[in-house]
Amino acid sequence: MYYIGIHGYSDNITSLLWTTSTSSSTAQEENEDTEMSEQEPQANQPGYTQCENCKAWIPEQTKMLYEGFCLRNNRTCSHKGSYFHESKTCICNELTTDSYEALAKHRRITCSEKLITCRYCHNLVPQSVPSPDSRDRLYNLHSHESYCESRTITCQKCNRQIPIKDIQAHAKIHEVQKQNQRLPPLCTNQNCIRPRANNRLRLCQYCFGPFWVATDDPGNVKLIQRVARKLHSQLTVGCGHNYCRNKYCATSTQKLQDANTAATTLIPMIQSLQRQMKLPNPNPELYFCVDESMTRKLFLAETLEEGTTRTYSIAWCAKALDSEDENLYRARSWLDKNAPKQHVTVNP
């Protein structure tokens, strides 16, 4: 029913009422068509068709794909006629939701059936539920990895049975212990790599032998004199051994010096020796000839030190040669396993 009112500006008031009516069914259809056209602008348009399930207007060329998806995921309410998303349950039966975003997040993070590569056995397995162990949960481990890491293996260094989860910490302990190792200082004779002994010159027992006397020498005067005579003899006469590599020996340099030249050469070394002997812990730098075996061992130790780019000290190179019967290849492996590296600090 429609009403039309007319008002005019005059003294006489005139009104007109125009009434018309239509059938209720026709009006309802027009209202539905109007609402549909407002909500679905593609309704009844060429190239569009209506989905049989959700009644949405879709392009004709995508009808098959759209209806396949819609029938799998949307259900029509039998009471109101509207459609809704069907709830989805994860394959682990731990989550039911109508949100694909929530389901995807669950499958990606917390689902017990999510496949992971175990960091211990390296197999592709379901991650299962979170571990009951609080420490394992702190490291984001699930039941399989918690079980897998509890298996033990034998440590190659100490032969102890260590759980796999503790093997890195256990290896760190060995590394700290290795880096904290110390060797006795070497002989102050620069041509010898034996450990030094407890004497005033800090020489090894072999190198100090020719200088030992039973008489009292509180000021070390006689000891310094014996050292000076030995060095002077090396420069003027030599040791007579062809294998000698001592730079303060006439046999090694093949240059015999007269007495005055040799004395002039030795003055700086003797003066330095006198200063060192006055210290509580002297550390002089001396050059005496050694036997053939020590000459060969020093040469091999220097070769090994250069071969490792000075990663290991010459003292550890000498110990490696002693342990492996002067075999350079095995000595290098021994250093890598047992010797501390120079200029490296390991935090426990």
Compute the average pLDDT of residues 143-151. 83
pLDDT digits (tens, 9 = 90+) for 213-228: 888 888 889 999 999 9
Compute the average pLDDT of residues 97-106. 81
Beta-ladder partners of 189: 286
Instruction: Look at residue 345 in the predicted model and tell me its pLDDT.
Output: 65
Compute the average pLDDT of residues 172-182. 89
User: Model confidence at 75, in pLDDT bands (50, 70, 90)?
Assistant: low
Helix, coil or strand: residue 206: helix
Top-confidence residue, 29 or 260: 260
Beta-ladder partners of 154: 161
User: Model confidence at 79, in pLDDT bands (50, 70, 90)?
Assistant: low
The mean pLDDT of the chain is 82
- Tell me which DSSP letter residue 105 carries: H
Instruction: Look at residue 20 in the predicted model and tell me its pLDDT.
Output: 47
Compute the average pLDDT of residues 330-335. 93
In this structure, of 30-34, 41-45, 173-177, 287-291, the range with the lowest mean pLDDT score is: 30-34
Sign of the dihedral defined by the CA atoms of residues 242, 243, 246, 252, in that order:
positive
Backbone angles phi, psi at 195, to 5 degrees: -65, 140
DSSP codes of every residue in 280-291: SS----B-----
In this structure, of 2-16, 91-105, 285-299, the range with the lowest mean pLDDT score is: 2-16
Top-confidence residue, 80 or 98: 98
pTM of the model: 0.58
